[in-house]
Structure 1
Amino acid sequence: MLSGFATEEKNTWWAENPPKPEKTRVLLNLPGYHEFELLHQGAEHLILSALRVPDGSRVLLKTTVTDTPSLEQFTRWRKEYDNLQALQGTAAPGILDCPVVENRPILVLECIEGSPLEELETPDTGEFLKLSILLVDALDTVHLRGFVHQRIAPDSFLVSLDLKRTRLINFDQACRSPGTSRIRLAGQAYMAPEQTGRIEKPIDFRADLYSLGAVFYRLLTGRPPFLAEDQAALIHAHIARIPEPPHLLNSNVLPMLSEVVLKLLAKSESDRYQSCAGLRSDLVICLEQWERDRSIPVFPPGRLDVSYRLDIPDRLYGRDSQLKSLLGAFESVRQGGVAWVQLRGNSGVGKSTLAEAARKKIINRGGFFVTGKFQPYHQNRPYHALLESFEELALLLLSETEYGLNAWKKRILEAVSPNG
């Protein structure tokens, strides 16, 4: 008899101190296994350890919380099984079996004696550096197989009690690089901007590195990079807000570690670390300096970083004057003026690239940036692009705090009165 406790997690993943959810008892017959111990309880799945009867070896069990899983959950279970098969010999656990018991899919995995990373207390500098190198090495084994994990978070790492071994789990969203954006609720506190669905970019290894930066942030500060009141606000934060440097939240964190974490959390993929190897090099340098001098002088992060693949950077060249004009129009509007700028040119000359360059700078200066596109198949909707833009703007405004939303409401009513 398999017994454990699961949780019906409410949407409290963005809160700094979420209330403890009410637990639901789960019972399942699983012949051949006994001495079950719950390791992690999530919104949709359980992670347990158990002893296998034939040889007494301890294994991991991953199964659904509900005893009536959906077709999508079965699909993800099968996908995770296939991914784990392809990742044998990496930091992913070995797959031993995949039974379906009483309509509940189960993965039986190799086990290490340890606990989820999220249960660890805030480590000191030396412990953090050793642990972070361990996590980077684990992720690197997956990247070297050409996979993007897409769900890097504290509950995706199991760490041994001596902090010398780790296993990377939760591969139900993993895909070959480059992949597509699809992040479920449980991973949104650690997702990269390109995983929000608001940015039309493929997902590659650098999305995992952003998420790993968010995990490092939590290890150093005790909280994720962004705290928000709802899902929309959290998505907006990942896209537009700059996180507070960790050393300003925890005085025990050295500024150099903040530099490393903030580089991982860069909004643009090209500004992040490009590989686990480059990140590992910096962490090793930091560890060596810490063990020798008990201090870490600040140095430019990413000096030894090299990408696994040839990527054309998304930087803009030869358009300085046009970009300056766009930013000048933005500054004019910010001062209370009104501006209309039209970008014209043949297909492929770089209009979208110029707009993207402006977007980054406008967001960094506290502005909103929304887009709409006229498409040939929307010719019967002449205002489609404008409607698309205003829908996106409405979502951004709705992600504001209640105070901010009321302020915008007042400004809009004053602007349209008495016609509104």
Structure 2
Amino acid sequence: MTSPPPHFPYTIGETVAEGRGVAVYRAVRNADGHPVVLKVLDPRSCRPKDLDRLKREYETGKTLDVGTVVRPLALERYEGRLALVMEDSGAEPLDRLLGAPMAIGRFLDIAVRVAGAVSDIHQRGVVHRDLKPANILVNSTTGEVKIADLGLASRLPRDQQAAQPARLIEGSLPYISPEQTGRMNRGIDSRSDLYSLGVTFYQMLTGKLPIQARDPLEWIHGHIARAFAAPSDVVPEVPEAVARIVIKLLAKMPEERYQTARGLRCDLERCFELWTCRGSIEPFPLGEQDVSGRLEIPQKLYGRDEEIAALLGAFERVFDTGSPESAGSSCRICPESPSRSELSTSRISSITAPTSSPTHARGRRSAGSTSWQGSRQRLRSPSLRLAATWPRRHHCCPRTPGAHGTRTRSRSTWSSQNASTSPATSSGPTSWST
């Protein structure tokens, strides 16, 4: 991106971030010498949605009267360029402090302040939706933390993200939550920000991201289905209590994460106090102060443990043997019909049925071990436990609603819901506000 035009009412000092038609500068206002931060759009290369994001950042920031958010001063247009003028507190993006694993004391000091800043935003009904180190500003001198870039922020208590091509997903792919990918059929609320904080904290503690990927689809699949190594396994010096906090933040299902940033901050403060006083942190129950002030209706289904266990068991057996199973037992309630386990096995068998003689089964499994392992991880993923969304209905009476005292629900309804849960992946902005 080119520099601002001559006669620009600001003197540009440092380029903080730059990319895709958007640049962030440190500058001084010529009229009074006041230091500011400028986010400038280049009309020749910026996208229409960049204009919308800049306007939303200004409007949302003006309504948030909180010291932990970068305060917008003005939205100005000069010679065809739209520029957002913001206060300059002298803070640096957190990503400039990353690289090697961060010392535990320093990590806890920053993490407590970051959790407090996010809590301030959430308590005012705003979900950031793009938390990452480039949008977290840390003043190394005062320790002050501010949150920047509210261009994707939402005031909806729960925002539904529709599935769309990976390249169009809003947010930064290494840090987005599973539900933000649009492949989970789940609403996005404040707990999505907590997942993004988990990724950031993991990177601060270990110097690397919990999930590595090379393209958008791989990022999406990683967030939805792939497991990650615990921070304490990557860096043994990380206390177990701190590692458990990060693992809880990175839970695939929102119900299993912290429910509030306030509850997260309480646990981090306890860790910081123990580390400061004793130099060690004894494990303690997490989330004792993690109580949400808003009624949350769970979006997960309950009462499918038997079906999930049957499906996983059948998959493991097929995985271990490399060949499909044959149906044997019958339904406990309807003797003339296959059991649920057999129905699950038959679904798997239709996918994994061998295409050559059984003597080659072991060779096929070895050659395709990566594919098998990927299938196992995807099946274990909460988002892909399709058995949990299959209706309780026996094979002998597939069209009989309410048979055997089960719930009623039309086949078309279940099919339409399950069709939207197929997984995929993406990437997004790479710097503070770009």
Residue from 155, 158, 169 that aligns with 1:178: 158
Kept in 2: contact 1:193–1:238 (CA 8 A)? yes
Summarize the Cα distance change of 1:30–1:331 in structure 2 as closer, same or farther, 3 Å threshold: farther
Residue from 129, 153, 156 that aligns with 2:132: 153
Q: Equivalences for 1:125-144 in 2 at 5 Å?
A: 125-144=104-123
Summarize the Cα distance change of 1:370–1:323 in structure 2 as closer, same or farther, 3 Å threshold: closer
Return the offset for 1:36. Answer: 2.3
Return the offset for 1:161. Answer: 2.3
Return the offset for 1:322. Answer: 4.1
Structure showing greater Rg: 2
Give TM-score scaled by structure 2 length. 0.71
Output the aligned Cα RMSD: 3.5
Mean Cα deviation higher: 155-164 or 180-189: 180-189
Kept in 2: contact 1:49–1:60 (CA 8 A)? yes
Mean Cα deviation higher: 137-146 or 364-373: 364-373
Mean Cα deviation higher: 208-217 or 361-370: 361-370
- Secondary structure of 1:63's partner? strand
Q: Does structure 1 residue 197 correspond to structure 2 residue 182?
A: yes
Q: Equivalences for 1:371-386 in 2 at 5 Å?
A: none
Summarize the Cα distance change of 1:145–1:185 in structure 2 as closer, same or farther, 3 Å threshold: closer
Q: What per-residue deviation string (whole Å, max 9, x for no partner) do you get for residues 132-167 of structure 1?
A: 011111111110110100000011111112251122
Structure 1 stretches of 4+ with a deviation exceeding 6 A read: 359-362, 365-368, 370-373, 385-393
Return the offset for 1:391. Answer: 11
Q: What residue in structure 2 maps to residue 252 of structure 1?
A: 237
Q: What per-residue deviation string (whole Å, max 9, x for no partner) do you get for residues 166-221 of structure 1?
A: 22111111001212438757611000000001111111000000001111111111
Q: What residue in structure 1 maps to residue 298 of structure 2?
A: 313
Return the offset for 1:125. Answer: 0.8
Mean Cα deviation higher: 199-208 or 311-320: 311-320
Residue from 109, 115, 128 that aligns with 2:86: 109
Distance in 2 of aligned mates of 1:37 and 1:74 = 23
Q: Does structure 1 residue 230 correspond to structure 2 residue 209?
A: no
Kept in 2: contact 1:131–1:163 (CA 8 A)? no
Kept in 1: contact 2:248–2:256 (CA 8 A)? yes
Summarize the Cα distance change of 1:115–1:35 in structure 2 as closer, same or farther, 3 Å threshold: same
Kept in 1: contact 2:130–2:176 (CA 8 A)? yes
Q: What residue in structure 2 maps to residue 348 of structure 1?
A: none
Distance in 2 of aligned mates of 1:86 and 1:366 = 37
Q: What per-residue deviation string (whole Å, max 9, x for no partner) do you get for residues 35-92 of structure 1?
A: 4211223445322111112322211111235644332222222222211122133422
Q: Equivalences for 1:156-171 in 2 at 5 Å?
A: 156-162=135-141, 164-171=143-150
- Secondary structure of 2:152's partner? coil
- Secondary structure of 1:253's partner? coil
Mean Cα deviation higher: 94-103 or 169-178: 94-103
Q: Does structure 1 residue 80 correspond to structure 2 residue 65?
A: no
Q: Does structure 1 residue 283 correspond to structure 2 residue 253?
A: no
Distance in 2 of aligned mates of 1:319 and 1:365 = 15
Q: Does structure 1 residue 99 correspond to structure 2 residue 80?
A: no
Q: What residue in structure 2 maps to residue 356 of structure 1?
A: none
Give TM-score scaled by structure 1 length. 0.74
Distance in 2 of aligned mates of 1:83 and 1:269 = 25
Q: In structure 2, what residue type is equivalent to 1:37?
A: E
Distance in 2 of aligned mates of 1:386 and 1:179 = 23
Q: What per-residue deviation string (whole Å, max 9, x for no partner) do you get for residues 287-308 of structure 1?
A: 1110111111122322221113
Residue from 201, 212, 222 that aligns with 2:197: 212
Where structure 1 has 5 or more consecutive residues not aligned to the other structure, the ranges are 1-5, 7-24, 343-358, 374-382, 400-420
Distance in 2 of aligned mates of 1:83 and 1:152 = 15
Q: Does structure 1 residue 294 correspond to structure 2 residue 279?
A: yes
Where structure 2 has 5 or more consecutive residues not aligned to the other structure, the ranges are 163-167, 327-341, 346-374, 391-411, 427-434
Count of residue correspondences: 350
- Secondary structure of 1:141's partner? helix
Q: What residue in structure 2 maps to residue 355 of structure 1?
A: none
Q: Does structure 1 residue 337 correspond to structure 2 residue 325?
A: yes
